[in-house]
Amino acid sequence: MSADRELVLTRLINAPREKVYRAWTDPELLKQWFAPKPYTTPVVEVDVRPGGSAYFVMRGPDGKDLPNHGVYLEVVPNEKLVSTDAYVKAWEPSEKPFMTLILTFEDEGGKTRYTARVRHWTVADREAHEKMGFHEGWGLCADQLEALVATI
């Protein structure tokens, strides 16, 4: 994989990886942290299995909804989730694939080395995602994720 199409966020989260994984796979938990505030995530529908679909709606402070469809490619409980927006559901191709997300949850003495690796279809997509605020937005979401897993 060419690094010019990839963005990566890594954090050491002070919680066991089972909790961090659960926060990525439980719709009610996802609604609480998935979008960087002041955005919200009022709709989360996930079928966490290879070939299962994911549907998230992020809502902006202006009330505008940003729907996101995807499909899980690989699921290793408490270790790894891989999904892509190349499909909207059941291998139905999306109009404009943008990225594949590879999440890993590594145990580090009861803490979790959380890595979100986002691989884009093109360099232009990666650049656009970076300009959208990937590092700030995903960083804020990681903070929200860590705050949530401390409570579950």
Kindly state the tokens that stand for 151: 């409570």
Looking at the structure of the chain, the number of domains it has is 1
Which ranges of 40-149 does DSSP label H, i.e. alpha helix? 123-131, 134-149
Q: Tokens 């408490």 correspond to what residue?
A: 78
Output the pLDDT for position 65: 97
For residue 59, give its domain range: 3-149
Output the pLDDT for position 3: 83
The whole-model pTM stands at 0.94
What is the CATH classification number for the domain harbouring 72? 3.30.530.20
* Average pLDDT, rounded, for the chain: 95
Task: Tell me the per-residue pLDDT of 122-141, one tens digit each, with 9 for 90 and over.
Answer: 999 999 999 999 999 999 99
Reduced to 3 states (helix: H, G, I; strand: E, B; else coil), residue 30 is helix
Instruction: Count CB atoms within 10 A of the CB of residue 115.
Output: 15
Q: In angstroms, rounded to a whole number, what is the distance separating the alpha carbons of residues 116 and 94?
A: 22
Instruction: Count CB atoms within 10 A of the CB of residue 61.
Output: 9
Task: Tell me the per-residue pLDDT of 46-101, one tens digit each, with 9 for 90 and over.
Answer: 999 999 999 999 999 999 999 999 999 999 999 999 999 999 988 899 999 999 99
Task: Tell me the per-residue pLDDT of 34-48, one tens digit each, with 9 for 90 and over.
Answer: 999 999 999 999 999
Output the pLDDT for position 59: 97
Radius of gyration of the chain (CA): 15
Indicate the helix (H) or strand (E) that contains 24.
helix 17-25
